Structure 1
């Protein structure tokens, strides 16, 4: 993925008089407070997810499986809004793969449909199925998987063989276990794993006790990983210290780097335009649950949060404080108004995408070949992200920050390479 020299800006519904513009140090303090609140909410909703999973395991009924799925969906909302903290914050980006890596080769974890295939040139563990196999060969080493533990997932299976698609931990591993494969392609429907896959007394899918072990281990690991990031963003935490050590200009550049990289290369490019070009349902972020529209929408909300210095918490941990938006307005009110227009246009485009999904057409259907109307809705969202990114280049210059390298994407920068 090549670097993309651009800047990103967002706009707010509330403007502050230039005379009342926030100090950069206060902007960075709010930025840290929002991170702490979001990761804290992510942790608490993960604990709620664990409680629902514990109930499913104790009583493996369809109702309890649906409740666990609902808890997973709720847990995704605050977490996805943290993604604007990636890229600019090394502590976050080095850690993020443990909790949100995708796409994954699910055959590493559990049984898959025959349509999945039996092997991959890129991945020797494509159908390793640790749930069915208490012993695995990984890079010439025999790995004892008799008991499925957090240590096994984290230390032996995650990115095993240095293959990024070997995702054994995090939200998407749990998602696959709760929903199973989505075998509908670009037709309607998500994964449909039965609750009896977790019922040793009435087991379907085989190896139910080991599947339960995996689900418990992955959920416990998610909680411990989120605890790590909550601590990092505490007032004396490592992430706050790393941010402070950059100085005010470096801190502001960090905010813009995260916003720009998520907006352009990551969301507009890798997560949206690529799948749209290929019309490939495997290129959707929450592909087992058909929750991709919400993940994308929450990324957009997260970008707005860090720019406007405001976070509306689902658990009441709201944050409002000094914002980057006020600094921009103090420098150039016309530019601030332009960014308001651009960011609001992006939000409107994603609200349209979200409404379409809630009306019955999932994201994987929207990107399907021949769905001209659905394709256009996704493309409009991509275009809005790219458009807001171009305006942010001016924000970087207006704030007199050093040149910032944002993540790029071949799907946007070199489309012909996608098909090579």
Structure 2
């Protein structure tokens, strides 16, 4: 009798307007919504493809830095600097899904801690301590990852000359690039079959899944991932250096790569929303949920992201120049990014909450 009452209650709930994620293969547009295809495509093709690209670019950076250390010339320095810029873009894409192993394994901290502690870096370089991948891996995260490499390659305001490099700096750069590559490999391995296979964990959200026992939890994770870089870009990466009128608060201060990294953040949002990473991914992304529930919102959001990318790219000169010389243009671009953030928070979030 108790089971009958519970069953009756379930039927009554199903008859209400509240939308639920159906754990079965219910078609999009029915009273329930099955997110299995969305989650599987996003995890197995988009996210894994992004992490694979990240690891490949880290390998290219390791090779370029090794070549610079072995034969310092203007050409090898230019190549290493470009390899650094290239390696940053897939990382900035991944900020649209900064959950799972990148967090639980502490890899975010050892890849992208910022601001750089230049005092501790100078102390290390002035010491006789070993500079090997193994020794660096034992250091505080602030002395690992992208930003020490960036600072030593470019110097303050990207003004470092080849004559300014020291043997210890070359040694540190080579070891640091190897350490960075090892960590991107760990991150990729955590997502793929044969490793941690977190892609399968995300793709199979639902009953029996220890991390995401409900599909709604995984879809909420995607939304939180999309919201994170939009929020950080609006309220930190752009706002802080602009409000303080100082490049000291610019994350890509040394490489002067801010505009490219900002647009990579937005491209990462597009990738998860569209369910594609370059040529990878042909199925549903987060946008499949949006278009199924509100096609007008879907079209508007896609345009808002495109407008935000265009506004950042249109900033005159470098970002560090624009915050001083054209703050109104930076504010206008920031407003475009804030529109993306507001749509995610105010219009997309209710769609997930209603599942």
Question: What is the TM-score with the length of structure 2 in the denominator?
Answer: 0.82
Mapped partners of 2:151, 2:277: distance in 1: 29
Alpha-carbon distance in structure 2 between the residues aligned to 1:22 and 1:150: 48
Instruction: Return the match for 1:151 from 129, 134, 157.
Output: 134
1:269 counterpart residue number = 235
Match of 2:333 in 1: 381
User: How many Å apart are 1:256 and its aligned residue?
Assistant: 0.5
Contact 1:253-1:401 at 8 Å conserved across structures:
no
Long gaps (5+) in structure 2: 1-27, 206-210
**Would you say the 8 A contact 1:52–1:67 is kept in 2?**
yes
Per the TM alignment, residue 30 of structure 1 is displaced from its structure 2 partner at its CA by: 1.8
2:269 is the alignment partner of 1:320: no
> Deviation at 1:75?
1.4
Map 1:3-152; keep pairs closer than 5 Å: 23-32=34-43, 33-86=45-98, 89-93=99-103, 94-110=106-122, 129-134=123-128, 145=129, 147-152=130-135
Q: Deviations over 1:61-117 (max 9, x none)?
A: 11211111111111112221111111xx1422342121112111223223xxxxxxx
Going from structure 1 to structure 2, the CA distance change for 1:196 and 1:258 (only over 3 Å counts) comes to: same
Taking the aligned partners of 1:22 and 1:351, their CA distance within structure 2 comes to 37
Partner of 2:311 in structure 1?
A: 349
Deviations 1:28-63 (A, max 9, x none): 112212111111111111111111112111211112
Partners in 2 of 1:24 and 1:284 — Cα distance? Answer: 38
Q: How does 1:400-411 map to 2 (within 5 A)?
A: 400-401=353-354
Partner of 1:304 in structure 2? 270
Aligned pair count reads 314
Matching residue of 1:6? none
Structure with the larger RCO, 1 or 2 (CA within 8 Å, 6+ apart): 1
User: After superposition, where does 1:354-365 map in structure 2 within 5 Å?
Assistant: 356=316, 361-365=317-321
Query: Do structure 1's residue 219 and structure 2's residue 177 form an aligned pair?
Result: yes
CA contact (8 A) 2:69 2:171 kept: no
SS at match of 1:399: helix
From 387, 393, 398, give the equivalent of 2:351: 398
Between the aligned partners of 1:343 and 1:68, the Cα distance in structure 2 is 31
Give the equivalent residue in structure 1 for 2:146: 171
Residues 95 and 228, structure 2, Cα contact 8 Å, conserved in 1: no
Partner of 1:311, secondary structure, is coil
State the distance in 2 between where 1:378 and 1:239 align.
38
**Cα offset, 1:217, TM superposition:** 1.3
Q: Which structure shows the higher helix fraction? A: 2
> In the aligned structure 1, how far is the partner of 2:54 from the partner of 2:80?
16
Unmatched tracts of structure 1, length 5 or more: 1-16, 111-128, 135-144, 159-166, 183-190, 199-207, 403-420
Post-superposition Cα deviations, 1:158-187, rounded to whole Å, max 9, x if no partner, equal 3xxxxxxxx2111111111111122xxxxx
Distance 1:340 1:211, change over 3 A: closer
Q: Scaled by the length of structure 1, what TM-score is found?
A: 0.70
Tell me, yes or no, if the aligned pair for 1:331 and 1:398 is still in contact at 8 Å: yes
For 1:54 and 1:280, locate their aligned partners in 2 and report how far apart those are by CA, in whole Å.
Answer: 33
Partner SS, residue 125 of structure 2: coil
Partner of 2:300: 338
Larger radius of gyration: 2
- Residues 287-346 of structure 1 deviation map (CA, whole Å, 9 limit, x = unaligned): 11111111111001101110111111xxxx633321221221111222223323322322
CA shift in 2, pair 1:74/1:238, >3 Å: same
Contact 1:346 1:381 (8 Å CA) reproduced = yes
Contact 1:39 1:82 in 2 (8 A): yes
